[in-house]
Structure 1
Amino acid sequence: MFVREMTRPECIALVTASHIGRLACARDDHPYIVPIQYAFTTGRLYGFSMPGQKIDWMRDNAKVCVQIDEFADRESWKSVVIYGSYRELPDTNQTHHERLQAWSLLEKRINWWEPGGLKPAEQSVVGTSPHLFYAIEIDEMTGRAASAEPATTS
């Protein structure tokens, strides 16, 4: 197996083609990682969630990373890691346009609200939806790719 660094355009292509990633955050020296569905646009990922542990932790420590991969087999895979900062998009006049942009990008996928909109326990019915939108502002993006054959250069 041969492993190589991916170029930035290759990383962006993988992130654009995918929509499921693993979001990692930390609080009080404890790591936490969960699957998320996201939408990518230049410089950021958009996500949707109900209140819970990941939101609480990201509010306390905005530094996060997201891992996205494509796996063909043991010798053929790609993996991108995004380092960035969490930014909540509350339902206010200041973030209204960006919330609509996040919604419009996310809703292009079937069941776009999963897994962020589901909880393992029954939720009480309330008059308003507690869901929220957020952005991960991308600071850095790196990737690696593996293949059975060495990469050729043109």
Structure 2
Amino acid sequence: MWIRNLSTLECTKLLSSHRVGRLACSMEGQPYVVPIYYAYQENHLYAFSMPGRKIDFMRANPLVCVLVDVKGEGRGWQSVVAEGRFEELPDRIGFKRERDQAWTLLAKHSDWWEPGALKPAQPPVTSHSPHIFFRIAVTEVSGREAQD
């Protein structure tokens, strides 16, 4: 088996061609990692969530990273870490274009909303949905690949 570094272009291609990653964030020295569905475009990872722990963590400390990894043939694999900054896209004036962009990119897949909208215990249904669109402004990517 041999391992090599992926180029920036290879990292970007892997991020663009996949939808599930592991978001790592921290608050007051406590790390937290959770899977997310995302869409990647122009150095941004777009995602959706209901209020909860990951949103609280990212609001407190916007520096985050996302790991995307893929099993290859045999013992092979590829992984990319995208480091960046959390940017909430609130439902108010000044963010409409970015929210629409997030919606458009995520909605290309029929099940895009499920991981972010489903919680173990659902709150009562109201006329207002507290869903949160956000993006990660990617500042750096790095990746590796292992092949037999």
> Which structure 2 residues correspond to residues 26-45 of structure 1 after superposition, within 5 A?
26-45=26-45
Distance in 2 (alpha carbons) for counterparts of 1:2 and 1:110: 38
Superimposed CA distance per residue, residues 124-151 of structure 1 (whole angstroms, 9 cap, x where no aligned partner): 1112100010010001000000001xxx
- How many residues in Structure 1 have an aligned counterpart in Structure 2? 148
1:108 Cα deviation after fit: 0.5
Query: Percent identity between the aligned chains?
Result: 47
The gaps in structure 1 that reach 5 residues or longer are 149-154
Q: Scaled by the length of structure 1, what TM-score is found?
A: 0.93
Instruction: Provide the rounded CA distance (Å) in 1 between the counterparts of 2:50 and 2:122.
Output: 13
1:42-91 Cα shifts (integer Å, max 9, x gaps): 11110000000000110000000000011125621000001100010001
Q: Which residue of 1 aligns with 2:145?
A: 145
TM-score, with structure 2 as normaliser: 0.97
Q: For 1:17 and 1:138, locate their aligned partners in 2 and report how far apart those are by CA, in whole Å.
A: 16
Tell me by how many angstroms 1:28 deviates. 1.2
Q: Which residue of 2 aligns with 1:152?
A: none
Task: Give the aligned residue type for 1:101.
Answer: Q
Q: Which runs of 5+ in 2 are unaligned?
A: none
CA distance in 1, matches of 2:11, 2:27: 28
What is the Cα-based RMSD across aligned positions, in Å?
0.9
Partner of 2:83: 83
Structure-to-structure mapping, 1:86-97, within 5 angstroms = 86-97=86-97
Shift of 1:110: 2.3
Runs of 4+ deviating beyond 4 Å: none
Q: Cα distance, 1:114 vs. partner?
A: 2.4
Secondary structure of the residue aligned to 1:115 is: helix
User: In the alignment, which residue of structure 2 is the partner of 1:17?
Assistant: 17
> Where in structure 2 are the equivalents of 1:1-154 lying within 5 Å?
1-73=1-73, 75-148=75-148
